[in-house]
Amino acid sequence: MKRLKHASMMAVLILCLMGTFFQVGWAGEGAPEKINCDAEIAWDVVKEAKLTQFDCALGESGGQPALIFTVGLENASDKPQRYRVNLFMDNGKAVGGLIPRTTKEGLVEPGQSKSFDYPVIDMPLSPKTMTLIIKTASQ
């Protein structure tokens, strides 16, 4: 009887920890206010960036059907920044790049917003799960 009591207490503890993980890791911290993707998304966004947009849309890229992700962010730091964006999907595909792509026109200034489209060729549906990672290019 004692073992059963301890096992049920452990099960409750594990479920609480899992609930905390999913609430913080999947649902919210770092997420923009509006999202139009039908996927569970894990957000890993540095404090120097505020994610202002994350959209998924079917379209074309290079004449081929593609799922296009639009990532918009704002520089939340007090210094000009360049950001590295990586998006990993449950089907093994990944896209990413730098915002801004080149530094010819300068970096993203404090308070300034930039966005970029990331197409995934031959992907007619949104994945079930994704992980979005945004870091500063210096990290």
- Domain of residue 103, residue span: 31-136
Domain for residue 54, yes or no?
yes
Q: Tokens standing for 127?
A: 């994945």
CATH of the domain at 52: 2.60.40
- Tens-level pLDDT at each residue, the chain (139 residues): 555 444 444 444 444 434 333 333 344 567 787 788 889 999 999 999 999 999 999 999 989 999 999 999 999 999 999 999 999 999 999 999 999 999 998 999 999 999 999 999 988 888 999 999 999 997 5
Element spanning 128, H or E? none
14 within domain boundaries: no
pTM, two decimals, is 0.75
Q: Residue 10: inside a domain, yes or no? A: no
Q: Note whether residue 15 is domain-resident.
A: no
Contacts of 49 (CB under 8 A, 6+ apart): 73, 74, 75, 76, 81, 83, 134, 136
Q: Please count the structural domains in the chain.
A: 1
